[in-house]
């Protein structure tokens, strides 16, 4: 399958900002450099929604800026739709960037006037400009509020206008940097639905989504990569990543009683009372057999009312990866 977004060994460092008093006291001291990206490799397939996950400061925004031609890498190569990002003029028509920086709009202008201004920057033909703006305003649910000042918009309305702006020139690839960060739950759900059903499902656009919202990644993304301290640590489907390094299977049983001292061929993780039944969470290793546990319980005189498999979630995998990185940093 064709890859439309590629990053190969991308490295980026920045000069750390110094306080004014330090600049005055030590004007000739060498500035400290911070490594934002440490050899990132990434491949995004055409037509997929790809999630870039990581804690704050992991390098997600820096990578998106490199892919959108806003920042050049120190080394390595970034390619969009077959074009190297050093060729800005060839790359820009292929991408639309959605971010939550409201300062990039003109607050005294209306939403429609803002889109008209950016349409000129994106070289949208004049004869098509009005119809294109109206179509996008309708699609993002902003047509009725199009002539209000941008300054009077809610956070959700501003974000929807940001999506409309990114679509003005109808790019095949969307780069989205935490698009739901400042939205209330209802607005965030609406935007996710629009991305999945309209932009990706109907229009077939490729979406690279940077977020630290794990629920958002699970509900939206076909594949995800976890970025920690400037390096990709895990990459794969959501199911593959959340099952990473999991050697056991977990089940939740509802029984009328749990025999005292009973362990059977399993490990008990938790026990709790509920509505006349006892809920017990157990873990089995890869070779353990659930039927052996159930048989042992029945032989002990206990009745099993329910048995459910507990699937590992992305939050657990994310925590394991962060813990692994912390331990690696602490190891001399």
Q: What is the overall mean pLDDT for the chain?
A: 86
User: What band does 198 get if pLDDT is binned at 50, 70 and 90?
Assistant: very high
In Å, how far from its chain's centre is CA 189?
Answer: 14
Which of 8, 89, 92, 97 shows the shortest CA–CA distance to 61?
97
DSSP β-bridge partners for residue 48:
none
Look at residue 329 and tell me whether its pLDDT is greater than 60.
no
Domain ranges of the chain: 47-66+83-242, 248-310
Cβ burial 262-280 (10 Å sphere, 16+ → b, else e): bebbbeeeeeeeeeebbbb
Tell me how far apart the alpha carbons of residues 99 and 62 are, in angstroms, rounded to a whole number.
Answer: 12
Q: What is the pLDDT of residue 246?
A: 63
**Separation in Å, CA 244 to CA 76, 214, 249, 269, 317:** 28, 15, 12, 20, 7
Average pLDDT for residues 145-165, to the nearest whole number? 92
DSSP-derived secondary structure letter, 110: B
pLDDT tens-digit map of 5-14: 999 999 999 8
User: What band does 197 get if pLDDT is binned at 50, 70 and 90?
Assistant: very high
**CB 9 within 8 Å of CB 77:** yes
- Give the number of other Cβ atoms within 10 Å of residue 62's Cβ: 23
- Angle subtended at Cα 152 by Cα 151 and Cα 153, rounded to the nearest 5 degrees: 95
pLDDT > 90 fraction of the chain, expressed in percent and rounded? 46
**Separation in Å, CA 251 to CA 270, 291, 306:** 11, 12, 10
In Å, how far from its chain's centre is CA 279?
Answer: 34
Coil vs helix vs strand at 183: coil
Which range among 28-42, 94-108, 245-259 shows the weakest confidence by mean pLDDT?
245-259
pLDDT tens-digit map of 285-317: 767 788 878 888 888 888 888 888 877 777 777
Tell me how far apart the alpha carbons of residues 259 and 257 are, in angstroms, rounded to a whole number.
Answer: 6
Tell me how far apart the alpha carbons of residues 122 and 126 are, in angstroms, rounded to a whole number.
Answer: 11
Higher-pLDDT residue of 39 and 57 is 39
Q: In the CATH scheme, what architecture does the domain 47-66+83-242 have? A: 3-Layer(aba) Sandwich (3.40)
Q: Which two tokens stand for residue 198?
A: 């309209």
- Give the number of other Cβ atoms within 10 Å of residue 171's Cβ: 21
Tell me how far apart the alpha carbons of residues 229 and 100 are, in angstroms, rounded to a whole number.
Answer: 22
- Domain 248-310: which topology? Alpha-Beta Plaits (3.30.70)
Higher-pLDDT residue of 299 and 151 is 151
């Amino acid at each position: 399958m064709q890859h439309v977004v590629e990053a190969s060994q991308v490295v980026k460092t920045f000069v750390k900002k110094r306080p004014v008093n330090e600049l005055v006291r030590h004007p000739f001291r060498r500035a400290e450099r911070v490594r934002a990206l440490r050899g990132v490799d990434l491949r995004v397939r055409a037509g997929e929604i790809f999630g870039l996950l990581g804690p704050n400061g992991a390098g997600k925004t820096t990578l998106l800026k490199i892919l959108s031609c806003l920042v050049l890498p120190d080394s390595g190569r970034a390619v969009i739709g077959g074009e190297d990002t050093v060729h800005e003029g060839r790359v820009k028509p292929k991408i639309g960037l959605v971010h939550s920086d409201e300062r990039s709009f003109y607050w005294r202008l209306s939403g429609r006037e803002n889109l008209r201004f950016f349409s000129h920057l994106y070289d949208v033909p004049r004869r098509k400009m009005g119809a294109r703006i109206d179509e996008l305003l309708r699609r993002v649910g902003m047509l009725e509020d199009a002539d209000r000042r941008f300054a009077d918009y809610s956070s959700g309305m501003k974000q929807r206008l940001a999506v409309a702006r990114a679509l003005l020139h109808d790019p095949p690839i969307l780069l989205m940097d935490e698009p739901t960060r400042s939205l209330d739950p209802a607005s965030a759900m609406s935007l996710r639905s629009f991305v999945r059903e309209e932009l990706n499902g109907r229009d077939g656009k490729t979406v690279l989504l940077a977020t630290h919202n794990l629920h958002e990644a699970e509900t939206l993304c076909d594949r995800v990569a976890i970025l920690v301290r400037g390096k990709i640590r895990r990459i794969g489907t959501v199911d593959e990543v959340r099952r990473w390094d999991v050697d056991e299977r977990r089940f939740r049983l509802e029984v009328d009683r749990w025999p005292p001292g009973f362990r059977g061929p399993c490990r008990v993780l938790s026990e709790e009372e509920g509505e006349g039944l006892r809920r017990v969470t157990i873990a089995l290793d890869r070779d353990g057999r659930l039927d052996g546990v159930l048989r042992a319980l029945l032989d002990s005189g206990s009745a099993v009312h329910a048995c459910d498999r507990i699937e590992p979630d992305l939050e657990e995998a994310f925590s394991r990866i962060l813990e692994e990185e912390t331990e690696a940093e602490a190891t001399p």
